[in-house]
Amino acid sequence: MAARTRLNDFFSLHRQGFVRVAACTPRIHVGDPATNAEETLALMRVGEKRRADLMLFPELGLSAYAIDDLLLQEALLDGVETAIRRLVDASRRMRAAYIVGAPIRRNQRLYNCAVVFARGRILGVVPKSFLPNYREYYENRWFSPGADVAGLEVTVAGQAAPFGVDLLFAATDLADFTFHVEICEDFWTPTPPSTRGALAGALILCNLSASNVVIGKAGDRALLCASQSMRCHAAYVYSACGPGESTTDLAWDGQATIHELGTLLAGTERFPREGQMALADVDVERLRQERMRTVTFNAAAAAAGHPERSFRRIGFEHRPSRDDIGLERRIDRFPFVPDDPLRLDKDCYEAFNIQVQGLMKRMSATNGKRLVIGVSGGLDSTHALLVAAKTFDALGLPRTNILGFTMPGFATSTGTKSNAWKLMRALGVTGAEIDIRPVAKKMLEDIGHAFAKGKPVYDVTFENVQAGLRTDYLFRLANQHNGLVLGTGDLSELALGWCTYGVGDHMSHYNVNGSVSKTLIQYLVRWVMASGQLDPAASRTLRSILDTEISPELVPAAKGGKLQSTQSKIGPYELQDFNLYYITRFGLRPSKVAFLAWHAWRDAKRGDWPPAFPDEAKRAYALGDIKKWLGVFLYRFFEISQFKRSALPNSPKVVAGGSLSPRGDWRAPSDGNARAWLAELEANVPGKAGPLPGTPKKR
């Protein structure tokens, strides 16, 4: 029963470490708490239907912000208390925690506050720390600052509640659902209270704001929200006043946003005529893991005196749903390849030039004048050759000093060999051809292999004799010509162990592709074409290479059969790159990776694709296929290929979390196993994945 419950929970966003948050901008009625309560309640009901867990409303939303001396009128303040009571009572029948803005009286003072409540209980009241009193702002006239207020209580709407800036709110029955509250000006200061809240453990930082609009201010707000979410390894939820607020001297645009780790998850339209909300699912589990991974976060907490010691942690029962309520979050199919054309162009520019810069330094450090590279006519060697050509241009060296060798073996196709020659000629490098078949056949004869006796035995030895000979030739050619061997293997192959160890494509003097995934390399090649760096003939060759089935071309095709396919053995690179990104960059559970992949890949018609992605290549994957290939990834990555990554040649890091070098992002034992990861996958992902591979070929 327990196992069945876990499998049913697979589709629950709460089981997968998400919290659904909403940033709301209701229509404001100036100085009318009762009507403002109804506007707020209307959005609360919308949030209830959309299954929100946390809903944030603007600063002083129950009274209106720009009402000046009306804030000191008892009738208005009594009306605010009545409005709070109305909302708190309504929340008894709702699932979320709510944060509303209101002027609150305490000890003969008035405070600009956030009132936090859930299921009929006021959890706490947080006063605004920093009151602006410059230019158009005049808050010191009405409010007392809350910066030093801690450890107190206040009675609001008939309930006694914790009062102060020392409050964190945490669900007792949903891991990582912990939030902090600050108000408007607080995050415009050099020391936002949310920084200490984050260091104390809050993963969701909330800001109730009024924030009148002027030209350019929306961009400033977005910058602050993004930077605070990135710096604090948190989500930052922001809500500003919108339609209906007084325009006596100011104007309002109703900007509401949700950021996570610097990325905008959701935002509202600006200048709306009615109330609205931005809603998104925040990955609080990922945020927690990112803080553990970034040790300077804890160092900052220690340097700040461990703020968790001075915060009161207010627990509340949330009663999270275990149902499948969808996922309000965009999941990129290609985490290494942005969907946005401008971002993709920028990423390709940076990636290509990082590779060029890395190779330039290695050539200069070794006083190198020549490079030796194997050119197969496939994607990886094509891109490495493009990088080499640009490097030699930047160094003022002739491209003829790049020595490209195509080395056909027993399964080399006419198409790939032809593309290799066309590319070398188009780039103006020195090309040559070495047929490795006679030497390979002699080696197979010497070791008594069945293929040498005329039998169609195409085992790992047959494959690696060819792969090893190619690399052996390249190193001896480098000796002969006083050059460096340029590696071509990519990040995806290294993750899956899809390379021949030692004297094979695993080894080189320097590898420019070691931190670039297979999916990104395809777009780097497309970027070179689109940016006009090559003539039309060369671009046609690149197009032909992109259209070629990915294959090591080591095993001859059966009569009338298909060419050896890499992806049929180790899985589609588009899925394996997805798995690679979330397993290594964030350390997610395999079941969560499968959950994300299912949302990203289950329907080819939903969501965005990278620019110019061919329609015929737009695929969808069922959960069973996702589970199968994730199992293959886990087995190959954790159990059988780390020994190869423990002995990698130098290679520049290109993407975040995208280095598997033992001197870089990834350190692991070479004699580990995948049992814990495979067990978690099997226990928590529904469906049959098919048999996992046995002892694989170690190319």
Q: Are residues 274 and 26 in contact, defined by beta-carbon separation less than 8 angstroms?
A: no
3-state secondary structure of 125: strand
Q: Are residues 14 and 174 in contact, defined by beta-carbon separation less than 8 angstroms?
A: yes
Residue of 418, 450, 659, 617 whose CA lies nearest to 526 = 617
**How far is Cα 195 from Cα 199, in angstroms, rounded to an integer?**
6
- Residue 59 falls in the annotated catalytic set: yes
Q: In the 8-state DSSP scheme, what is residue 682?
A: H
**How far is Cα 699 from Cα 464, in angstroms, rounded to an integer?**
6
The CB-based long-range contact list for 365-368 (8 Å cut-off, 24+ gap) reads 366/484, 368/483, 368/484
Q: Are residues 597 and 572 in contact, defined by beta-carbon separation less than 8 angstroms?
A: no
* Active-site position among 39, 59, 139, 493: 59
Q: Where are the beta strands (DSSP E) in 482-567?
A: 484-487, 510-511
Residue of 666, 658, 678 whose CA lies nearest to 642 = 666
- Burial class of residue 546, CB neighbours in 10 A (0-12, 13-18, 19+): middle
What would the two tokens of residue 224 be?
Answer: 């602050």
Kindly report the number of other CB atoms within 10 A of residue 463's CB atom.
22
**How far is Cα 179 from Cα 184, in angstroms, rounded to an integer?**
16
- Residue 628 falls in the annotated catalytic set: no
Kindly report the number of other CB atoms within 10 A of residue 121's CB atom.
17
3-state secondary structure of 392: helix
**How far is Cα 632 from Cα 432, in angstroms, rounded to an integer?**
38
Q: In the 8-state DSSP scheme, what is residue 91?
A: G
| Residues near 161 by beta carbon (within 8 Å), at least 6 away in sequence | 122, 123, 124, 125, 153, 154, 155
Q: Which amino acid is at 404?
A: G
Half-sphere exposure of 165 (CA within 13 A, CB side): 20
The CB-based long-range contact list for 360-364 (8 Å cut-off, 24+ gap) reads 360/391, 360/394, 360/395, 362/484, 362/509, 362/510, 362/650, 363/391, 363/395, 363/397, 363/484, 364/395
* Active-site position among 24, 39, 113, 128: 128
3-state secondary structure of 455: coil
What CA dihedral angle connects 435, 436, 441 and 446, to 10 degrees? 140
- Residue 81 falls in the annotated catalytic set: no
| Residues near 557 by beta carbon (within 8 Å), at least 6 away in sequence | 411, 563, 564
Q: Are residues 521 and 337 in contact, defined by beta-carbon separation less than 8 angstroms?
A: no
Query: What are the C-alpha distances in Å from 156 to residues 77, 91, 371?
Result: 11, 15, 76
Which residues are identified as catalytic? 59, 128, 184
